[in-house]
Structure 1
Amino acid sequence: MKIERRKTRLAEVYTASLNDIMFFLLLFFLIISTMVTPVALKVMLPHSSTAEKVITKKNIMLAVTADRQYFIDDRKVEFKEIEPALASMVKNKKEGNAEIEYVVLLQADMSLNLQPVVDLIDIANRLQLKMLLFVEKK
């Protein structure tokens, strides 16, 4: 008598959709982790006479085009308005316990004469601001 064996079935788990689920979970946790702010302990710090002040640097962008149009932080201004605008931006040099150091980043067009650039440097010197001139590396 011939006994037929039943064919064994192979059990498979369909995992094609698991990739999508894992991707969305990873994305969800990455987004949520950037939104969560850590709970900080509020501690009263002791005072010291030799402690150094914290200096925060803030940049002010000043751009001059070839046709002598002036821009402060992407806002168009006239030349005579530059000094009062910079002075009003830097009048409050303290923020809490930190001191703010302003740096003017000057972007001047290559075709300009030297005099407009020197005039802007004079304005920064009168306001006691540091000024950096942007150049392109060859």
Structure 2
Amino acid sequence: MKIRRRKKGHAVIEAASLSDILFFLMLFFLMISTMASPEAIRILLPNASTGKAIPKHPVSVIIDSKLNWYVDGRPTDEYTIRTELSSESKKYNNEITVVLKADKSISVEQLIKVVDIVNQLKIPLVVATERGK
């Protein structure tokens, strides 16, 4: 007696559905990887009911295109700015922040002079810029 063998059917897998699944997996992992920040340190900060943040008094240092220097609107120069900032710092108990506003046409050397003086006085510095277009 002859035993008949069954015909083996070939399984067909549609490539289109696999590529859709692969695309969605890749999209999912790309979205998750951009949300995760590996260098972030997660801490829980304590709460305080009586404490409050005290903002530092901003002192503006302005250098215009003609190299005129101003401290809080008062004219000064690069030689007396150290004493001006030091007296402002003492006036507000060393709780000031210098906001540097400089014309874009001045040299970097002028900016570095102010940054150097502010760093020597150990005063926090913020550089004011215009928002990009």
Give TM-score, length-normalised by structure 2.
0.56
Give aligned-pair identity as a percent: 25
Give CA deviations for 1:6-65 in whole Å, capped at 9, x if unaligned: xxxxxxxxxxxxxxxxxxxxxxxxxxxxxxxxxxxxxxxxxxxxx868534100011001
Q: Quote the offset at 1:106 in angstroms.
A: 0.6
- Residue in 2 that maps onto 1:62: 61
CA distance in 1, matches of 2:66, 2:92: 33
**Segments ≥4 residues shifted beyond 3 Å:** 51-56
RMSD: 1.9
Number of aligned residues: 83
Give TM-score, length-normalised by structure 1.
0.55
Alignment of 1:86-105 (within 5 A): 86-92=85-91, 94=93, 101-105=95-99
CA distance in 2, matches of 1:55, 1:64: 28
CA distance in 1, matches of 2:83, 2:51: 31
DSSP 3-state at the match of 2:56: strand
CA distance in 2, matches of 1:70, 1:86: 12
The runs of 5 or more residues in structure 2 that have no matched partner are: 1-49
Which of 120, 128, 133 aligns to 1:134? It is: 128
